[in-house]
Chains A and B, each alone.
Chain A
Amino acid sequence: MRASGYSVTALQRHGYVFVAPTLILFSVFLIYPMLSAFDLSLFDWNLISAKRFVGLKNFRLMLQDPMVVNSYVRTLSFCALTVIATNVLAFVFALMLQSNLAKAKNFLQSLIFLPVVLSLVAVGVVWELMFQSTGLISMAVRSIFGFSPAWLTDTRAAPYAMVIIATWKSVGFYMIMYIAGLLDIPETYYEAARIDGAGFWRQLTRITVPSLRNTFVLTIVSSIIFSFGQFAIQYVITKGGPSHSTEILALLIYRQGFELYKFGYSSALSVLFFMTLLVFSVIQLKLMRAGE
Chain B
Amino acid sequence: MKKSYRRRRIIRGIALNMTAVIIGLAFSFPFLWMILSSLKLNKDVLAYPVNFLPPTWNWQSYVNVFTAFPSFNFPRFILNSVFVTVCAILLCLFLSATAGYGFSKYRFRGNALLFTIVLSTVMISFEAIVVPLFIFVRSLGMQNSYWGLIIPEGLSAFGVFMMRQFFYALPNDYLESARMDGANEYLIFARIALPMARTALLALVIFHAQYVWNMLLWPMILISSPDMRVLPQGIALFKGGYNTPYPEQLAACVISCLPLVLLYLFFSKYFIKGVAMTGIKG
Which residues of A pack against B, CB within 8 Å? Answer: 2, 4-6, 11-19, 21-23, 25-26, 29-34, 36-37, 39-40, 47, 93, 96-97, 99, 101-104, 106-127, 129-130, 132, 134-136, 139, 168, 171-173, 176-177, 179-181, 214-215, 218-219, 222, 225, 229, 231-232, 235-236, 249-250, 253-254, 257-258, 263, 266-267, 270, 273-274, 277-278, 281
Contacts and interface: CB of A to CB of B under 8 A. Distances in A.
B145 to A, nearest CB: 14
A177 B275 contact: yes
Given A116-B210, A122-B253, 19 more contacts: A13-B108, A14-B106, A15-B103, A15-B106, A19-B99, A34-B124, A99-B16, A114-B31, A117-B257, A119-B256, A126-B31, A129-B250, A134-B48, A139-B48, A168-B30, A235-B217, A236-B236, A270-B130, A278-B123
A103 B24 CA distance: 13
B242 to A, nearest CB: 15
B50 A139 contact: yes
A176 B128 contact: no
B124 A30 contact: yes
Nearest to A127: B30
B47 interface: yes
B106 A117 contact: no
Contact of B176 (A5, A93, A96, A99): A5
Contacts of B254: 122
A189 to B, nearest CB: 17
Which of B50, B213, B249 is packed against the most chain A CB atoms within 10 Å? B50
Dominant secondary structure of chain B at its interface with chain A: helix
Given A15-B108, A125-B249, A115 B27 contact: yes
Interface of B: 9, 12-13, 16-17, 19-21, 23-25, 27-28, 30-31, 33-34, 37, 45-50, 94-96, 98-99, 101-103, 105-108, 111, 114, 117-118, 120-136, 151-152, 154-155, 157, 160, 172, 176, 179, 185-186, 189, 210, 213-214, 216-217, 220-221, 231-232, 235-236, 239, 246, 249-250, 252-254, 256-257, 260-261, 263-264, 268, 271-272, 275-276, 278-279, 281
Nearest to A135: B46
A180 B276 contact: yes
B116 to A, nearest CB: 11
A243 to B, nearest CB: 19
Contact of A11 (B48, B133, B185, B257): B185
